[in-house]
Amino acid sequence: MQITLETDYAVRCLVYLKDHRDELSVLGEVSNATKIPPAFLSKILQKMIKHGLVKSTKGKKGGFRLAKDPDRISVYNIMQAVCGCETVFQVVCSKSKEPCTFLKSCKIHSVWQDLGKINKMILESRKLSQL
């Protein structure tokens, strides 16, 4: 499993919104507080909105806030929104970074699959409210 910079930023962003959930947060203040570049943060927030984790309000008094209770958002949900569910635990070749092509003959593949299942279980069990 590889944690991308985008995933790290997404978690930081949602933790910030959780900690400020009684108010709308504007892009600039989230960016400054989390040290996430504004353009990158904007793309992340759009993904979070698309996946129902964040809602936005437009206009002069607009901003962003969580769309769900932090107890209902898992770290896995955040990773899915950023990376796509099919890529979160995909077994990839360490050399080519492409999906493994030796699934049927690889002696260790089942170990990597089991590890992915354990990681997924842990990430599903960790809620935003705990961060």
Q: Is the pLDDT of residue 95 over 80?
A: no
Whole-number CA gyration radius for the chain: 17
pLDDT one-digit tens code per residue, 48-68? 999 999 999 998 889 999 999
Across the chain, which distance is largest between two alpha carbons, in Å?
59
**Domain spans, the chain:** 5-130
- pLDDT surpasses 70 at 94: no
Within a 10 A sphere around the Cβ of 53, how many other Cβ atoms? Answer: 23
SS3 at position 53:
coil
Task: Write down the CATH number for the domain with range 5-130.
Answer: 1.10.10.10
